[in-house]
Structure 1
Amino acid sequence: MLSKKNAIYPEHADVVIIGGGFIGSSVGYWLKTKAGSGLSVIILEKDLSYAKFQNNTSLGTITQHFSLPENIQLAQYSAEFLRNVKLHLNSDTNIEYKPNGHLILASEKYAERLEQNVTIQKEFGVKNELIMPADIKEKYPWINTTDVKLGCISTESEGVFDPEALLKGLVLKSSELGVNYVDAEVTGFDVEQQRDVLMEGVTPGGFRKINKVMYRTKDNEEYAIKFAVCILAASGQSGEVAKLAHIGDGDGLLKIPLPIQQREYDIYNIEDENIKASISTPVIMDTSGLWLQPNTLENNFMCGFTPMSNNSVKELLTDKFYEEIIRPSLSNRYPNFQDHQIKKIRTEFQDCNTYDETGILGPHPYHTNLVIAAGFGKLGCQHAPGIGRAIAESIIDGHYSSIDMTRFGFDRLLVDEPLVEFNVY
């Protein structure tokens, strides 16, 4: 994505961002947009080829079907950002946004929850409407609605887009604004003892502040950068990077680990002459966890499974999981489905917060100059514009001014108060 040039390894930066994916690059973009040349920003990304992001097309959806107000507001802002992406980024950024919308299918068990969610969404101005099974069947005759109690279809600001094009646009614009991308892997942090800092649970005079991040380049050279603020946006590796700052292996505020893991899941392609995807065909989310996404370029569908919190990472990639979970769900919802019409096309990656499946955003309670932005899973792509803006506001303005993201902070782990997105899929 970035043209090759002589690498620059500065020793100081105002802000160092670990991870140059959707969220990390969005943070860089917003910091430089708000502060300009007055703020030096470096992004450490261990794979500037972005190979793992290539063809991850299932990430390219935008929906507002949430129960948490913060997620609804982030999605609303992302919809505005994506519609005007050529103004925000560069004029040649083409994310191929298509306003397909989303269709949510709820069984008897989840129908009440769907109604509750729609009530919350309408309080924030979301344009959607509840739809009965008979109406769903009339509009989409290839969907089996016998076990569907209620549906909800969006009418505005939802659809699909090219996530790789969005990432490229964020990276190129951030670089153009002055963000320095460094192709390197973080190996550790350096600390300095601050005897004048008093913190609950910390022995007086024993506070140790992280002030440098060490990293190794592709040429196996070791460097260090001194920073004022560090952003941890390393996706599925964020938990491991946090351990380098002794998060999870210390005492007091350092006792609780950052519960972020990488989750891999398979994506399948469906081809059926009786089911044709068009620009008006919505993304379909099922209470079984099955999702169906139109691939209008090939006039067919992609599908996958939204994993539950009790699904292990390895479990999602087994033939047994396909045979016992995905295949029965497909056969039930789409009776025309046949084995020979579905094939695995790739394995995709996302980060997951194993504590409550909701992203973690904000400073660590001990390392207050380490801002965490990880665990958003599939939402990390669609929420990236709003997350980046929120972090930039907190650093430059000292507070969230657009969307209050306080509840997404690490502190909820300390007091054991999960922040759960109660969706029906």
Structure 2
Amino acid sequence: MITSKVFQRSFSKYGFLCSESKNPFKRTWDTIAKELPAIFGLNNKISNYPEHADIVVIGGGYIGSSVAYWLKTKAGHGLSVIVLEKDPTYAAARKNISCGSLTQHFSLPENIYLSQHSAEFLRNVKDNLGPNVDLKYVPKGHLLLACEEHAEKLEQNVNVQREYGIRNELLSAKEIKNKFPWINTDDVKLGCLGYESEGTFDSLALLGGLVKKSLDMGAIYIHAEVTGFELEKQRDVLMEGITPGSFERINKVMYRTPDNEEHSIKFAACILAAGHESSQVAQLAKIGNGDGLLAIPLPIEKRDSDVYSIENMTKTTGLNTPLVMDTSGVWIRKDSLGSNLLCGAVPLLSQSATGQFGDEYIDKIIKPSLLNRIPQCNLAQVTSIATESYDYCHYDDTGILGPHSYHNNLYIAAGFGKQGCQHAPGIGRGIAELIVDGQYISTDFTRLGFDRFLTDNPLIESNIY
């Protein structure tokens, strides 16, 4: 089990500082990897594994730990919360170096609300998570570019954002060129530059703060892998489309510890926040391999995306380099206080859509986009420094939030992809409201629920290429 004091030391000592060396990421990861078995208490064995809990959270990452934090914040000792985390070293989170981005460039009201809540939460992070949490927030403009084909849609999205109080500015190609002379605008029709609540932060520090605060408030973290669920027949439950007397309610989760011990926890409610493994875990509850409402799978898959370093380019782009979302789907941002730029591409709904990987992907996708947008990159060295993995909802590329249509005590909080880190505070609060208050209080996220798959009603976020 993770201990609060040791966890706090780990994140204050090993927080990401992107300017420490030419390529600080590998050095930081190597250091953390050597220390984590002791830091996270992986060598400590729990003497008595709990057999009952009010709430079990499957997955202790950004979203799962945010759920635990909000449940304990709202209910305190009134709810017992157990978090089952398969990898307390958080190897995946440490590799996702670009996910610490805050933006409000969205078209769906739900994403706008989530980003606004995140901005408020991060702004007051020391009050929320403790005085030692340092997110190293760096304000940056966020410039979204649109070609002729998408200019009208961008303008519509900006009008929607302004209805929700978001401060941004529409720019013509000439205005973009005047502000950022290094950007080639020959194929750009329109741009949108966001000014407020746009920037980058240390995502690992946020995760550490959420976990430590949850632990301090009484949540229990267990290093374990979920192996199954126990279902109990509820003969008195009537549900449309379900044969009377055949309804089965999940009430117990089974899991295996690293030393191959098998345990189980009986619960009142379970939150599925297992990232890209959420679909496989859901199948253990017959979601996707059952009948009727259980025949529809959880449409979440793993998506990989490489992050690249462009050497010494901030000498050209300057200190006020914004985060740029290109018309090609390639994003570009400054490497904190360093001299390099970071870039990558938004993962596609179909991972094999390009049929290109590795060096071929750099040569045919990344470099042409970079040279088109920043011609001065023609002599710069482009190096792959990390492969990020995200949980993408391949149905409509929008996250899933709320109870399952059949298992109404199984709440899903997954499929948010790269936005999962930024949106985690609002997602956790929404789940906590559903459980503690019985309904959404702050913001209604009903449209993000599982029911949209039953009614074939996709939610398309059109401000992400």
Tell me if TM exceeds 0.5: yes
The answer for the alignment partner of 2:24 in structure 1 is: none
Task: Quote the Cα distance in structure 2 between the aligned partners of 1:218 and 1:424.
Answer: 39
The answer for the alignment partner of 1:56 in structure 2 is: 96
Task: Quote the Cα distance in structure 2 between the aligned partners of 1:291 and 1:92.
Answer: 31
Task: Quote the Cα distance in structure 1 between the aligned partners of 2:411 and 2:59.
Answer: 12
Task: Quote the Cα distance in structure 1 between the aligned partners of 2:147 and 2:223.
Answer: 47
* Cα deviation digits, residues 108-131 of structure 1 (max 9, x gap): 111101100000000000000101
Q: 1:111 aligns with which of 145, 148, 151?
A: 151
Q: 2:167 aligns with which of 127, 150, 163?
A: 127
Shift of 1:424: 5.4
Tell me if structure 2 keeps the 8 A contact 1:99–1:159. yes
Tell me if structure 2 keeps the 8 A contact 1:190–1:210. yes
What is the TM-score of this pair, normalised by structure 1?
0.97
Task: Quote the Cα distance in structure 2 between the aligned partners of 1:340 and 1:214.
Answer: 52
The answer for the alignment partner of 2:458 in structure 1 is: 418
Partner amino acid for 1:305?
A: A
Tell me if structure 2 keeps the 8 A contact 1:264–1:316. no
The answer for the alignment partner of 1:139 in structure 2 is: 179
The answer for the alignment partner of 1:74 in structure 2 is: 114
Task: Quote the Cα distance in structure 2 between the aligned partners of 1:40 and 1:101.
Answer: 42
| Aligned Cα root-mean-square deviation (Å) | 1.6
Task: Quote the Cα distance in structure 2 between the aligned partners of 1:388 and 1:229.
Answer: 15
The answer for the alignment partner of 1:260 in structure 2 is: 300
Q: Compared with structure 1, are the counterparts of its residues 66 and 58 closer, same or farther at alpha carbon in structure 2 (3 Å cutoff)?
A: same
Task: Quote the Cα distance in structure 2 between the aligned partners of 1:310 and 1:352.
Answer: 10
Matched, 1:44 2:84: yes
Matched, 1:375 2:449: no
* Amino-acid identity (%): 60
Q: 2:374 aligns with which of 323, 328, 334?
A: 334
Q: Compared with structure 1, are the counterparts of its residues 3 and 323 closer, same or farther at alpha carbon in structure 2 (3 Å cutoff)?
A: closer
Tell me if structure 1 keeps the 8 A contact 2:182–2:317. no
Partner amino acid for 1:67?
A: S
Q: 2:263 aligns with which of 223, 243, 256?
A: 223
* Cα deviation digits, residues 237-293 of structure 1 (max 9, x gap): 000000000101111100100011111111000113564566532110112101001
Aligned length: 425
Structure 2 gap segments, 5+ residues each: 1-6, 8-38
* Cα deviation digits, residues 185-238 of structure 1 (max 9, x gap): 000000111111111121111111110000000111000000000000000000
The answer for the alignment partner of 1:161 in structure 2 is: 201
Task: Quote the Cα distance in structure 1 between the aligned partners of 2:353 and 2:117.
Answer: 31
Q: 1:95 aligns with which of 135, 152, 159?
A: 135
The answer for the alignment partner of 2:384 in structure 1 is: 344
* Cα deviation digits, residues 170-193 of structure 1 (max 9, x gap): 111111111100000000000111
Q: Compared with structure 1, are the counterparts of its residues 135 and 314 closer, same or farther at alpha carbon in structure 2 (3 Å cutoff)?
A: closer
Partner amino acid for 2:349?
A: S
Shift of 1:417: 0.8
Partner amino acid for 2:230?
A: D
For the residue of structure 2 that corresponds to 1:336, the secondary structure is helix
* Cα deviation digits, residues 280-330 of structure 1 (max 9, x gap): 321101121010011123222100001232343895744333322222111
* Cα deviation digits, residues 83-104 of structure 1 (max 9, x gap): 1111110101001011112011
* Runs of 4+ in structure 1 over 6 Å off: none
Task: Quote the Cα distance in structure 1 between the aligned partners of 2:276 and 2:388.
Answer: 12
Q: 2:249 aligns with which of 200, 209, 212?
A: 209
Tell me if structure 2 keeps the 8 A contact 1:232–1:370. yes
Task: Quote the Cα distance in structure 1 between the aligned partners of 2:365 and 2:91.
Answer: 29
What is the TM-score of this pair, normalised by structure 2?
0.89
Task: Quote the Cα distance in structure 1 between the aligned partners of 2:393 and 2:40.
Answer: 34
Partner amino acid for 2:345?
A: F
The answer for the alignment partner of 1:391 in structure 2 is: 431
Tell me if structure 1 keeps the 8 A contact 2:168–2:194. yes
* Cα deviation digits, residues 357-398 of structure 1 (max 9, x gap): 000111111111000011000010000000000000010001
The answer for the alignment partner of 1:84 in structure 2 is: 124
Tell me if structure 2 keeps the 8 A contact 1:265–1:316. no
